[in-house]
């Protein structure tokens, strides 16, 4: 990486100096022809390392449950090489993959998309998160997006973005609540590879084509928002 993203405040933790530029969406999710121009942000060594561990797992696993044609190519050409270097994961998938449902560790995908939400908030609006801010993500069924949309319609907002990366590999929509002085508050909805067939998640016990929802904002208000929208305790925020 060039100097553009070095010696800045890390977009993920908001406290450490960046040592590199990080692709918000790992390039390995995309076919080579779709890797140009992906969003990048400054990242410190610790955050970059933690995010990379999640990406190594998910770039190998997510194509198994995908509907997008690029995921099929990825599965045939790139995933085998990743699994050759990870015998434990290869064995796990061999035991759990049924051909129509993916045994996915949803804590990994929720952790990665908490990072991604922070990265996109920096990329689009230059939001710098402080120690009082955090991010959380969850896997939801596609119909749940409409429910979330209705819940968010009550929020006045000034920032809105919609992006399609890699011809549908990642599609996302973001909303920033600028009228609130706590500008770190933002909401994100993601579709990966055209929707995924998740399995092994107690929140979605019978699988189904699922999406990801993420929120960033002050730790003081995120649990309250989570309880109002999802009716559950916020277990994981970073």
Q: Are 145 and 229 in contact (CB under 8 A)?
A: no
What's the pLDDT tens digit per position in 113-143? 999 999 999 999 998 888 889 999 988 766 6
DSSP string, 201-225: BTTBTT--EEEEEEEEEETTTHHHH
Signed CA dihedral, 29, 74, 194, 144: sign only: negative
List the chain domain ranges: 3-100, 103-230
pLDDT digit string, tens, across residues 9-62 = 999 999 999 999 999 999 999 999 999 999 999 999 999 999 999 998 898 888
Q: Are 51 and 43 in contact (CB under 8 A)?
A: yes
Beta strands in the chain (DSSP E): 20-23, 40-43, 102-103, 133-141, 159-165, 170-176, 186-192, 196-199, 209-218
81 Cβ neighbours under 8 A, 6+ residues apart:
none
Max Cα-Cα span within the chain: 50
């Amino acid at each position: 990486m060039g100097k553009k993203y070095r010696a800045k405040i890390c977009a993920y933790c908001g406290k450490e100096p960046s040592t590199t530029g990080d692709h918000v969406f790992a390039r390995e999710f995309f076919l080579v022809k779709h890797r140009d121009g992906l969003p990048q942000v400054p990242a410190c060594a610790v955050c970059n390392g933690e995010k990379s561990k999640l990406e190594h797992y998910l770039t190998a696993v997510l194509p198994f449950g995908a509907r997008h044609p690029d995921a099929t190519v990825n599965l045939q050409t790139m995933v085998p090489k990743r699994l050759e270097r990870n015998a434990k994961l290869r064995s796990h998938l061999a035991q759990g993959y049924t051909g129509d449902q993916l045994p996915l560790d949803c804590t990994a995908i929720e952790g990665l998309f908490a990072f991604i939400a922070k990265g996109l908030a920096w990329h689009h609006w230059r939001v710098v998160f402080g120690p009082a801010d955090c991010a959380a993500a969850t896997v939801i069924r596609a119909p749940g997006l409409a429910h979330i949309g209705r819940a968010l319609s009550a929020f006045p907002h000034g920032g809105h973005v919609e992006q399609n990366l890699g011809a549908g590999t990642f599609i996302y929509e973001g909303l920033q609540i600028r009228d609130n002085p706590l500008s770190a508050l933002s909401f994100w909805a993601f579709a990966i590879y055209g929707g995924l067939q998740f399995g092994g998640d107690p929140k979605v016990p019978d699988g189904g084509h699922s999406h990801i929802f993420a929120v960033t904002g002050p730790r003081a208000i995120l649990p309250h928002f989570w309880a109002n929208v999802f009716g559950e305790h916020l277990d994981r925020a970073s």
